[in-house]
DNA sequence: TATGAAAAAACACGGCA
DNA sequence: TGCCGTGTTTTTTCATA
């Protein structure tokens, strides 16, 4: 199904070792996946062939997942983004999982989080304008069984980091 | 600074036209940026050179931004993710902008949204464990001037779409 | 938009510390 | 086992029609 994630469900104990060089490679590729092996090699001070082998291995072992281009949302007519904070009435596992699967197939949904706290679900959506946002909220979310309440938070500004930090010991 | 985003602040009126073929290319590349031009061309039924020229043009004109690899968080010792919902006391523009810039330099922060509604800020963080989350919340967020309250929402499950939808007329 | 040639990159493999 | 250099294949890039 998802060829980019061969080992998504691995237990942490089974995740292969990493060293500082691997982490350096990951750092570069997270910020710019179009770097050539040669450029990466120069940056970290290894031979291109060695660097290539490390990248290949990390893909193989499920450390590196897919790579994705980022598209300018404005170029697609996306003029507004929002977070929908959703409360559900029933917390039956099957229902919640199904809910997640359902909403992620809605084109306007960028990501969906099942969370603890005041809300049950936080959903990041992209739309054309406020009218579109209203229709989306009503037609795709409020209407669903199990949804008791939705709060809509317009996104005024956003920042993103592409590099994940490292919280484990390195070989 | 960010070479991948030559035209981030473009007005929508200045964004170049797209046609259905462009959208098809974008769809493929958002899901897998490692596809070769040849593979894309075969998929959409165009010559590789033509396809290549379209990709080049979309990069040039700021439709296509950067490309990033996705890393398995477990491989880095990331065992827990959370959303921090933050209330600020002051809504002075300069303070809020500075706040956003500051927190995005915290390694554990993956994204930060300035929003309307009950909270002012929603911050997605990645940590090793609950102890780490507690320390992060206290040391990096609760402590900052202007923060009046934080609600922490543990992320139990998440889904993501890589393809942005299109809400504009195509050439 | 397509063709074809040149340049560059990715990839496989054998040797070496 | 991990690193390096080389040869081969594939992809990218670009000039030209």
Q: Tell me: the pLDDT tens digits for B119-147?
A: 999 999 999 999 999 999 999 999 998 99
**B127 — contact with chain A (CB < 8 Å)?**
yes
What's the rounded mean pLDDT across residues A42-54? Answer: 97
Burial of B112 (0-12, 13-18, 19+ CB in 10 A): buried
Per the DSSP assignment, residues forming a β-bridge with B154 are B82
Q: Tell me the C-alpha distance between B50 and B41, whole Å.
A: 8
B74 within 8 A of A16, measured Cβ to Cβ = no
Q: Tell me the C-alpha distance between B17 and B101, whole Å.
A: 33
**B18 — contact with chain A (CB < 8 Å)?**
yes
Q: Which of A16, A33, A168 sits opposite B77 (nearest CB)?
A: A168
Q: Tell me the C-alpha distance between A51 and B145, whole Å.
A: 45
pTM here is: 0.92
Confidence of residue B14 (pLDDT cuts 50, 70, 90): low
Alpha helical stretches, state H, chain A: 20-31, 37-44, 48-60, 93-103, 130-136
User: Tens of pLDDT along B64-122?
Assistant: 999 999 999 999 999 999 999 999 997 788 889 999 999 999 999 999 999 999 999 99
Q: Which of A141, A138, A114, A4 is nearest to A59 (CA)?
A: A4
What's the rounded mean pLDDT across residues B22-31? Answer: 97
* Assigned architecture for domain B20-61: Orthogonal Bundle (1.10)
Q: Tell me the C-alpha distance between B77 and B75, whole Å.
A: 6
Q: How far is the CA of B37 from the C1' of D13 (A)?
A: 11
Nearest amino-acid residue to C4, taking CA and C1':
B49
Domain ranges of chain A: 20-61, 73-155
Q: Is the pLDDT of residue B149 over 70?
A: yes
Q: Which of A71, A113, A54 is nearest to B160 (CA)?
A: A113
Topology of the domain covering B73-155: Alpha-Beta Plaits (3.30.70)
Confidence of residue A138 (pLDDT cuts 50, 70, 90): very high
Confidence of residue B11 (pLDDT cuts 50, 70, 90): very low
Residue of A nearest to B109 (CA): A161
Return the half-sphere exposure (C-beta side, CA atoms, 13 A cut-off) of residue A138: 6
Q: What share of chain A is helix, strand, coil (3-state, %, to 5)?
A: 35, 25, 35
Map residue A105 onto helix, strand or coil. Answer: coil
pLDDT of A42 reads: 97
pLDDT of A4 reads: 40
Q: How far is the CA of A49 from the C1' of D5 (A)?
A: 8
What's the rounded mean pLDDT across residues B8-36? Answer: 83
A81-95, A120-134, A139-153, B74-88: least confidently modelled range: A81-95
B120 within 8 A of B130, measured Cβ to Cβ = no
Q: Is the pLDDT of residue A14 over 80?
A: no
Q: How far is the CA of A49 from the C1' of D7 (A)?
A: 13
Q: Is the pLDDT of residue B151 over 60?
A: yes
End-to-end Cα, chain A, rounded Å: 32
């Amino acid at each position: 199904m998802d060829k980019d994630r061969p080992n998504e469900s691995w237990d942490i104990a089974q995740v292969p070792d990493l060293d500082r060089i691997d982490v350096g490679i990951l750092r570069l590729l997270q910020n710019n996946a179009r770097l050539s092996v040669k450029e990466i090699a120069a940056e970290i001070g290894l031979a291109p062939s060695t660097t290539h082998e490390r990248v290949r291995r990390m893909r193989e072992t499920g450390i590196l997942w897919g790579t994705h281009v980022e598209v300018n949302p404005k170029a697609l007519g996306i003029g507004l983004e929002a977070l929908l904070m959703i409360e559900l009435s029933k917390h039956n596992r099957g229902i919640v999982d199904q809910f997640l699967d359902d909403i992620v197939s809605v084109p306007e949904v960028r990501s969906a989080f099942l969370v603890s706290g005041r809300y049950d679900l936080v959903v990041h959506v992209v739309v054309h304008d406020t009218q579109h946002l209203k229709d989306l909220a009503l037609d795709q979310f409020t209407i669903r069984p199990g949804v008791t309440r939705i709060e809509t938070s317009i996104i005024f500004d956003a920042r993103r980091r592409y590099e994940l930090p490292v919280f484990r010991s390195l070989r």
